[in-house]
Structure 1
Amino acid sequence: MCLLLQGLLNTGYYVCTFLFFWCYVARVPTGQGIAASAKAFAAVMGAVWAGSQVTKGLRAAVALAIAPLVDRWMGTVQRALRLESKQAVFAVFVACCFSLAAALFGLVVLAWR
């Protein structure tokens, strides 16, 4: 349970912080080409990763605190989607987190090229 919640919190952190750093901190210019956008992506992601190390404890504490709520929520999702187990719900959420992050990062880099 905590693992799922930690993954959701990490996805939220990386997506939101990446967008904030990309747009407001690094202020990556548009029209610089795909190679320069990819290089800027690596630099921004490095800063985001460094920040994630600072907030790791807080995210873990939040995950532990609200794990019982997420367990009930997973049961609701399991019944709504007619899945066999909570492990299946976990797999769906993992796929959604990876898909969301990959799509967002890819679209931002391509839009700024």
Structure 2
Amino acid sequence: MMTNQPVKITKPGRYEDRRITAIAGLLVAAIGSKAFAFTAPASGDLGYEFYDIVVEQGIQGPIGFGVATVAIIFGLYGFAQRNWYMGLGGLAGTTAMVAGDSIVTGVGFTI
């Protein structure tokens, strides 16, 4: 005798989705074979003026100092409000402003 019970279809759970995402990320990282980094241009090279204005005068100049000061205050305010993400974001932003030229010239991307 047959009963008319619906067939229950199950979706993959949260952990299966994370496992698939992690495996896909590892495969993408393993496939890339070259990492290219930007080198700081010398005076007279193509793009030197842009690099000079953005990195040397902007990030490491008075504008960068002002942004880093605001980021420190923002981070301390986040810690005071017990918002750890805001606090860590402010301190990470300050670190990025201080190490701006080495981040620009040292970070490569995988192709």
- Band of TM-score, shorter chain: 0.3 to 0.5
- Tell me the TM-score normalised to structure 2 length: 0.35
Name the structure with the higher helix share: 1
- Larger relative contact order (Cα-Cα within 8 Å, sequence gap ≥ 6): 1
Name the structure with the higher strand share: 2
- Tell me the TM-score normalised to structure 1 length: 0.34
Which structure: larger Rg? 2
